[in-house]
Structure 1
Amino acid sequence: MGRTYTDKDLCAALSDIFVDNWVNFEYIASVAKHFPVEYVHLMLCRYVAPSCYCNLLSPVPSVWTAFDADKLWEHIDILRNKEQSVFGKFKRDICTLYFKNRLKQEWQELMRFL
């Protein structure tokens, strides 16, 4: 029987897109293939990107190889709690739209392996 993957596993794999190093899309796809494609895209744009994107904006990124899965999951939990308010939902939706557009190239590359 195979391993059961959780949302935390999916988010940790997707966070590899934001490291300051070569991105292993095959590895990300090996985890993401256990979830519906629409769900993977939603998790990437709604939770993982807002949590990790600042690493790409930094002239000297703090994360080169991998994000800490536990810390990432804690940050995603904070985002989920914030989206309970009307303003939080609005902000979430705006950020999601932005990241869907901004990450088109990365998403297309990932889709090659799914």
Structure 2
Amino acid sequence: MDQQLSDIDLCEALSDLFVDNEVDFEYIARVARAFPITHVEKALFEWVAPVCYTNTLTPVPPIWTGFERDSLWAEIQSLLAEEAKASFARKLSIAFRQFYLKRQFADEWRRLSALLAEKG
């Protein structure tokens, strides 16, 4: 895998955790190994999950083959810009969302982080 991977590549791979399809954890891990595990966890729970998790909450999710790379990245950038100027109350709700997402997707993170802990 190309070692010149960017955050966009990481986010695109991580978004596969939120599609209504079989998750290819090996593929996601191959991309994610190019980054420190703390960065992968941050990207997953602070960038990708807030944008993508609602796809998993509906009986028939609208996205089942994959999120479109450029629009996913644009949504993440918009979220981060909005959160950067958030009020104290909004920051509190962001913290609660992070807590929820980490609990809701704990199994996926455990499975992915176990693969990341393995060599190559």
The aligned residue for residue 94 of structure 1 is 96
CA drift at 1:3: 3.8
CA drift at 1:83: 1.1
The aligned residue for residue 103 of structure 1 is 105
CA drift at 1:92: 2.8
CA drift at 1:8: 0.6
TM-score by length of 2: 0.87
AA partner of residue 78 (structure 2): I
CA contact (8 A) 1:46 1:95 kept: no
CA contact (8 A) 2:25 2:112 kept: yes
AA partner of residue 79 (structure 1): L
The aligned residue for residue 113 of structure 1 is 115
Q: Hey, which bits of structure 1, 4+ residues long, moved more than 6 A?
A: none
Deviation larger for 77-86 or 28-37: 77-86
The aligned residue for residue 51 of structure 1 is 51
- Gapped runs of 5+ residues in structure 2? none
The CA RMSD measured in Å over matched residues stands at 1.6
Alignment identity in percent?
44
* Separation in 1, partners of 2:64, 2:75: 19
* Separation in 2, partners of 1:89, 1:82: 11
Q: What SS does the aligned partner of 1:61 have?
A: coil
Structure 1 position 12 matched with structure 2 position 5: no
Q: Deviation per CA, 1:35-62, whole angstroms, max 9, x where unpaired?
A: 1101101111111011111111111111
> 1:50-69 alignment to 2 at 5 Å?
50-69=50-69
How many pairs does the alignment contain?
Answer: 114
CA drift at 1:91: 3.3
The aligned residue for residue 77 of structure 2 is 77
- Gapped runs of 5+ residues in structure 1? none
Q: Deviation per CA, 1:54-88, whole angstroms, max 9, x where unpaired?
A: 11111111111111011100100111111122424
CA contact (8 A) 1:46 1:92 kept: no
CA contact (8 A) 1:5 1:31 kept: yes
